């Protein structure tokens, strides 16, 4: 979903509450929680009648950082969510003079605790992506409701892949992607198997932990960033460090679960009829016999819906 009118302005009817500056910082051995004001901290009364955005950092697995962004913090967990596997790893929480950092294996996330809001992700001490001004917030769209959004920078030249079964270009840069399963055919932007996970060739992937509708702006609202948003007052996402695409994918599937190996016959050649063919038993038998006559192994014959 696009909230901006160009780069500087908001669209008509959109109210934004962005994290502007950290106000309260809480840490323990395994997590970080930062409450950010939606305006600059100028004096001790700046927090009065000022909406806040709470950002929590934790880690569900090695080389993965979980970020929870909330405008209204839920007291009970959501009833429907993705299942995550694995045990929580050992993490390191460090609190310095002007930032707080959580590290899990080779990945880390830092939040500026002084000055303008900055959420920064590092892999092997190399910066992966950041969320600075106007990048973390709660949005209200008149007549539609509230949304929580996050915008992460894309390095120059980085490409974005994934987001489930799509029929658009393989590289998602420049696309608007709605993660929502629909029976829209194979020639549109709709998809049968949408997955709110993307990976990049810049060392990181992102899994938005929401089974509902997730809207992605992949360099399509701000050309140098990936933006994702969900309806409601909070959401959670995971930044997964690779550094390569294969390692990112392996860590993502370890986190969310891997399917059982399909049966051997499913890996063979499939032959299908078509929606437009006028076929009968003789026609179908001719297809199958023709493959055998040509010594072409055939594992599956698929009868389409008009059979």
pLDDT tens for each residue of 87-97: 789 999 999 99
pLDDT at 298: 94
User: In angstroms, what CA-CA distances link 256 with 43, 164, 208?
Assistant: 45, 14, 11
pLDDT at 54: 96
Torsion of the alpha carbons at 16, 5, 69 and 172, rounded to the nearest 10: 170
pLDDT at 70: 95
Q: What are 175's strand-pairing partners?
A: 218
Mean pLDDT of 222-251: 96
289-304 burial string, b = 16+ CB within 10 Å, else e? Answer: eeeeeeeeeeeeeeee
Mean pLDDT of 117-124: 98
- pLDDT at residue 305 is higher than 80: no
The percentage of residues in the chain with a pLDDT greater than 90, rounded to a whole number, is 79
d(CA 111, CA 131): 10
Of 187 and 42, the one with more pLDDT: 187
- pLDDT at residue 103 is higher than 80: yes
pLDDT tier, 276 (very low <50, low <70, confident <90, very high otherwise): low
Evaluate the CA torsion angle 102, 99, 138, 161 in order and state its sign. Answer: negative
Token pair belonging to 259: 């399917």
Residue 130 contacts residue 55 (beta carbons within 8 Å): no
pLDDT tens, position by position, 247-256: 999 999 999 9
pTM of the model: 0.89
d(CA 172, CA 175): 6
- 218: Cα within 13 Å, side-chain hemisphere: 26
pLDDT at 79: 67
Angle subtended at Cα 165 by Cα 192 and Cα 242, rounded to the nearest 5 degrees: 145
d(CA 266, CA 165): 19
Name the one residue in this structure whose structure tokens are 């927090």: 47
pLDDT tier, 60 (very low <50, low <70, confident <90, very high otherwise): very high
Name the one residue in this structure whose structure tokens are 């209204």: 72
Q: What H or E segment, with its residue span, contains residue 139?
A: strand 136-141
Mean pLDDT of 232-250: 96
Token pair belonging to 258: 């891997």
d(CA 144, CA 12): 12
pLDDT at 281: 83
pLDDT at 76: 67
Name the one residue in this structure whose structure tokens are 């063919």: 277
User: In angstroms, what CA-CA distances link 134 with 39, 72, 144, 158?
Assistant: 11, 18, 21, 21
Name the one residue in this structure whose structure tokens are 């709110």: 196
- pLDDT at residue 216 is higher than 90: yes
pLDDT tier, 278 (very low <50, low <70, confident <90, very high otherwise): confident
Distance between the two ends of the chain, CA-based, in angstroms?
41
pLDDT tier, 75 (very low <50, low <70, confident <90, very high otherwise): low
Residue 37 contacts residue 48 (beta carbons within 8 Å): no
Q: Is 287 helix (H, G, I), strand (E, B) or coil?
A: helix
pLDDT at 307: 59
- pLDDT at residue 71 is higher than 90: yes
Residue 65 contacts residue 108 (beta carbons within 8 Å): yes
φ/ψ bin of 121: left (φ > 0), alpha (ψ from -120 to 50), beta (otherwise): beta
Mean pLDDT of the chain: 92
- pLDDT at residue 48 is higher than 90: no
pLDDT at 235: 93
Name the one residue in this structure whose structure tokens are 């890996």: 267
pLDDT tens, position by position, 151-171: 999 999 999 999 999 999 999
């Amino acid at each position: 979903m696009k909230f901006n009118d160009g780069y500087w302005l908001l669209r008509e009817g959109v109210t934004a509450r962005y994290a502007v500056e950290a106000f309260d910082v809480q840490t323990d051995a395994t997590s970080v929680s930062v409450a950010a004001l939606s305006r600059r901290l100028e004096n001790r009364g700046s927090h009065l009648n000022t909406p806040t955005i709470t950002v929590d950092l934790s880690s569900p697995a090695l080389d993965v950082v979980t970020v929870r962004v909330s405008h209204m913090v839920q007291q009970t967990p959501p009833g429907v969510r993705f299942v995550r596997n694995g045990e929580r790893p050992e993490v390191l929480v460090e609190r310095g003079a002007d930032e707080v950092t959580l590290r899990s294996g080779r990945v880390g996330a830092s939040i500026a605790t002084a000055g303008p809001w900055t959420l920064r992700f590092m892999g092997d001490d190399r910066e992966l992506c950041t969320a600075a001004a106007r990048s973390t917030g709660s949005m209200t769209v008149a007549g539609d409701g509230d949304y929580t959004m996050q915008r992460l920078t894309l390095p120059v030249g980085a490409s974005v892949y994934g987001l489930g079964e799509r029929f658009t270009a393989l590289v998602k840069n420049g696309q608007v992607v709605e993660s929502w399963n629909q029976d829209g055919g194979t020639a549109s932007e709709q998809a049968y198997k949408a997955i709110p996970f993307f990976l990049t060739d810049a060392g990181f992937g992102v899994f938005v932990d929401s089974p509902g509708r997730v809207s992605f702006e992949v360099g399509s609202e701000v050309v140098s960033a990936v933006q994702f948003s969900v309806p409601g007052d909070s959401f959670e996402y995971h930044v997964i460090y690779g550094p390569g695409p294969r390692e990112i994918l392996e860590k993502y599937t370890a986190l969310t679960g891997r399917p059982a190996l399909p049966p051997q016959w499913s890996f063979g050649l499939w032959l299908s009829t078509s929606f437009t063919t006028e076929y009968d038993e003789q026609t179908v038998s001719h297809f199958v016999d023709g493959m055998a006559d040509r010594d072409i192994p055939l594992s599956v014959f698929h009868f389409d819906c008009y059979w």
